[in-house]
Amino acid sequence: MINKINVVEPYLPDYSKYANYIKEIYERKILTNKGPLVELLTKRLENHLGVKNILLVSNGTIAIEIALRLLECKGEILTTPFSFIATTSVPLWSGCTVKFSDISPKTYNMDVDLLKSSVSSDTCAIMPVHVFGNPCDLDSLELLAKEKNLKLIYDAAHAFDVKFNNRSVLGYGDISTLSFHATKLFHTVEGGAIIISDDKLYEKAKAMVNFGFENGDITMVGTNAKMSEFHAAMGLCVLDDIDKIKLCRKSIYNRYLDKLCGDFQFQKISHDVEYNYSYFPILLKDESTLLKVMKALNDDNIFPRRYFHPSLNTVVSMSFDQCMPVSEDVSQRVLCLPIYPTLTIIEQDKVIDILNRGV
């Protein structure tokens, strides 16, 4: 039986190491609510990433929800149509409206010049995404947010361990959110984090994720977004291996760049970036070529993903009426290739051969 090659395989750390943490939890009988493993993971992540005020939560979607609440965002959120659905559904779920602004065809991130002209008097916040871990134009966005008095929230779900000018991108903006879902570079099975620049807001966020409890009193409307000890245990194990994980991914990434020769375009990673090699997207000539290539790969048990597809402004059930020509074009032609530490060279070369053979 030939192994199925997916776009990603969740990373599973050493079993006995994980089991030891679980044994500890059994003995301590603290399963959640600010347990010691959550505290330890918080501190270790702050050190590793070089940022302060990390709040661990139960997933990356609720992380965005809490960011919007904390910054009291009402009205219009300006965001990218080229992202995972959560970037758009959370503002809608939270009672805001969503307005899209198109992306750059090279970086796949929001085009700041277009964004400038999209800001209206209703705009409360801008919410860019570091798409596939490629940092946005951080300085221009900061300037724009300041100039127009807007909140700046980064959906940084892909940007774990990404640095710009030797500084984590997670330290930019009012808030950055992370996803620690099993398919992400660093994971806790399910989980996420909020990185909050303002110390007072950080304190407020701690209460907000725990039903609004502050020193025993209910001081605000809250929700339940706590990370459990079992999830933190997985995070501690994966964090031990993160440098190894990134090295494996880097060599796969560079092998694709070296060996792929055909009518493909690659994402332009910005200068002065320490990248995390979390995805390997390619753009094909057109959608019909993409569908043929997909079929050829699928026939060989290789399953890349059309990520992101469709462009979010075209999601029928949300009935938006904006056209986003660049995002729609990229969405129709983008394919994310398999990249994960256990992908073998033989498997990767099979992917490369099929792509280079053409259709």
Ligand X SMILES: *Cc1c(COP(=O)(O)O)cnc(C)c1O
Residues that bind ligand X (CB under 6 A): 59-61, 83-84, 86-87, 129, 155, 157-158, 179, 181, 192
If the CB atoms of residues 89 and 197 are measured against ligand X, the closer one turns out to be 89
Measured from the CB of residue 192, what is the shortest distance to ligand X in angstroms?
5
Measured from the CB of residue 32, what is the shortest distance to ligand X in angstroms?
18
* Contact yes or no for 146/175 (Cβ under 8 A): no
How many CA atoms are closer than 13 Å to the CA of 271, on its beta-carbon side? 0
If the CB atoms of residues 118 and 176 are measured against ligand X, the closer one turns out to be 176
Measured from the CB of residue 252, what is the shortest distance to ligand X in angstroms?
19
If the CB atoms of residues 60 and 91 are measured against ligand X, the closer one turns out to be 60
Measured from the CB of residue 28, what is the shortest distance to ligand X in angstroms?
26
If the CB atoms of residues 185 and 293 are measured against ligand X, the closer one turns out to be 185
Pick from 121, 189, 208, 130: nearest CA to 162: 130
If the CB atoms of residues 77 and 293 are measured against ligand X, the closer one turns out to be 77
Cα 40 to its chain centre, rounded Å, is 23
Measured from the CB of residue 63, what is the shortest distance to ligand X in angstroms?
7
If the CB atoms of residues 62 and 119 are measured against ligand X, the closer one turns out to be 62
What residue type is assigned to position 137 of the chain? D
If the CB atoms of residues 291 and 315 are measured against ligand X, the closer one turns out to be 315
Name the residue number minimizing CB distance to ligand X.
60
Measured from the CB of residue 239, what is the shortest distance to ligand X in angstroms?
17
Query: 71-75: which pairs have CB atoms within 8 A and are 24 or more residues apart?
Result: 71/125, 71/151, 71/153, 71/174, 71/175, 71/201, 73/124, 73/125, 73/151, 73/153, 74/124, 75/122, 75/123, 75/124
Measured from the CB of residue 87, what is the shortest distance to ligand X in angstroms?
5
If the CB atoms of residues 134 and 179 are measured against ligand X, the closer one turns out to be 179
Q: Using CA of residue 187, residue 192, residue 197, residue 199, what is the dihedral sign?
A: negative
189: phi > 0 → left, psi -120 to 50 → alpha, else beta; which?
A: left
Return the axis-axis angle of helices 345-357 and 242-259, rounded to nearest 10°.
Answer: 30
Measured from the CB of residue 26, what is the shortest distance to ligand X in angstroms?
27
Measured from the CB of residue 263, what is the shortest distance to ligand X in angstroms?
27
For 37, other C-beta atoms within 10 Å of its C-beta total: 23
* Contact yes or no for 283/268 (Cβ under 8 A): no
Residue 168: beta bridge partners? 163
- Beta strand spans in the chain (E): 5-6, 54-57, 76-79, 97-100, 123-127, 151-155, 163-164, 167-168, 175-179, 192-196, 213-214, 217-218, 265-266, 273-274, 281-283, 302-303, 334-336
If the CB atoms of residues 86 and 162 are measured against ligand X, the closer one turns out to be 86
